[in-house]
Homo-oligomer: A and B are copies of this chain.
Amino acid sequence: MAIPEVVIERLPEYARVLSQFESRGREVVSSQEIGDALRRPGRTSAAQVRKDLSYFGRFGKQGRGYNVRKLLEELRRILGLNRQWRMALVGTGRLGMAILGYEGFEPQGFRIIHAFDSDPAMAGNDAGGLRVHSTDEIEEVLAKSPVDIGIVAVPAEMAQGVIDRLVQCGIRAILNYAPITARVPEGVELKPIDPVLHLQSMTYHLKARAGSFG
């Protein structure tokens, strides 16, 4: 039974709302409550939560619901979140430095352990506690000290080349902040982060709406 990718992508959201329930002291929740926390209440989604979870096992108790702590633990196990993941950042310009400084990664177990930049003036500098390596050294550094995930924050023109090299180094998961539609071989995960694409699809709806400012 192949598990749809959309299901995988919802699991971290379930985990996040379960953390919230946990921190509010809830011990048991129903699929309905999880669904309501994620979507506009009223829209179904409770069935979706149950079906999604059913791909991986039977975690609930009929008549009661799900034990928050236990389900959260299961999700973390399924997603592989019970360990540290090592990441390498390529590109230490404005965007790259912001990524280095982002406090949201570490608490979730994601740590940037290498930083690279193609600008020779950058190399050797200290970037948020990391020494910046030249991009030329990617292969060498990653061979000595491998990482699980690559983060690409270089200009558009260089992004595909950098991605190809990371893949060549054995990296199987890449977070791409460059505004290009990148390509990776079968078996490599690539997730684009591009706020502009989101803005550009929102404007479609704004434009259509009467009374928009303008």
Contacts and interface: CB of A to CB of B under 8 A. Distances in A.
Interface stretch (A24-32, A57-65, A193-201): A193-201
Interface in A89-114: 94-95, 97-98, 101-105, 108, 110
Contacts of A83: 214
Contact of A8 (B79, B108, B204): B204
A50 interface: no
A129 interface: no
Contact of A200 (B94, B108, B179, B180): B108
A136 interface: no
A165 interface: no
B149 A202 contact: yes
A209 B108 CA distance: 21
A85 B195 CA distance: 14
Interface of A: 8-9, 11-13, 15-17, 20, 37-38, 40, 78-81, 83, 85-86, 94-95, 97-98, 101-105, 108, 110, 146-149, 170, 172-173, 175, 179-181, 183, 186-187, 189, 191, 193, 195-207, 209, 212-214
